[in-house]
């Protein structure tokens, strides 16, 4: 299976900060990388698909980039509602697709 490694595992930031979360694949996956946001007690929510495409309804402060093995999720100006856990997912191989271990974004 392709292993997905996110960094950092946790992150403290303030409202208005620019935040980046990195996801690295154990082999090249082209742009078959999706990003999700999960809040406590809620189902995940798709933010970005195929590395850089913004899912409908997701605020434009979220963006994604990367290809091959290295990918970045950027939040340009943190809002209160953005404090959550973020997961990347590779869909280059199915089955199985694999998720990163998650990055917990907390208020500083």
Partner 1 sequence: EVQLVQSGAEVRKPGESLKISCKTSGYSFSDYWIGWVRQMPGRGLEWMGIIYPGDSEIRYNPSFQGQVTISADGFNSSTYLQWSSLKASDSGMYYCARHRSYDILTGFGFWGQGTLVTVSS
Which among 101, 98, 90 is positioned nearest to 68, based on CA atoms? 90
Cα distance between residue 44 and residue 76, in whole Å:
21
Is 91 within 8 Å of 98 (Cβ atoms)?
no
Binding residues for partner 1, total number by CB under 8 A: 25
**Among residues 14, 43, 60, 108, the one that binds partner 1 under rule CB under 8 A:** 43
How long a stretch of residues is the chain?
Answer: 108
72 lies in the site for partner 1, by CB under 8 A: no
Q: Is 9 left (phi over 0), alpha (psi -120 to 50) or beta?
A: alpha
Selected range binding partner 1 among 17-25, 32-40, 66-74, 76-84, rule: CB under 8 A: 32-40
- Closest contact distance (angstroms) between CB of 2 and partner 1 is 12
Q: Which residues of the chain form contacts with partner 1 (CB under 8 A)?
A: 32, 34, 36, 38, 43-46, 49-50, 53, 55, 87, 89, 91-92, 94-102
């Amino acid at each position: 299976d392709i292993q997905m490694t996110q960094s950092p595992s946790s992150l403290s930031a303030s409202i208005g900060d620019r935040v980046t979360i990195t996801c690295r694949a154990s082999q090249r996956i082209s742009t078959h990388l999706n990003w999700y946001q999960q809040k406590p007690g809620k189902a995940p929510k798709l933010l970005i698909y195929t590395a850089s495409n913004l899912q409908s309804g997701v605020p434009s402060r979220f963006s994604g980039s990367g290809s091959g093995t290295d990918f970045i999720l950027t939040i340009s100006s943190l809002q209160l509602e953005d404090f959550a856990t973020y997961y990347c997912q590779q869909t280059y191989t199915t089955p199985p697709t694999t998720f990163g271990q998650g990055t917990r974004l907390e208020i500083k």
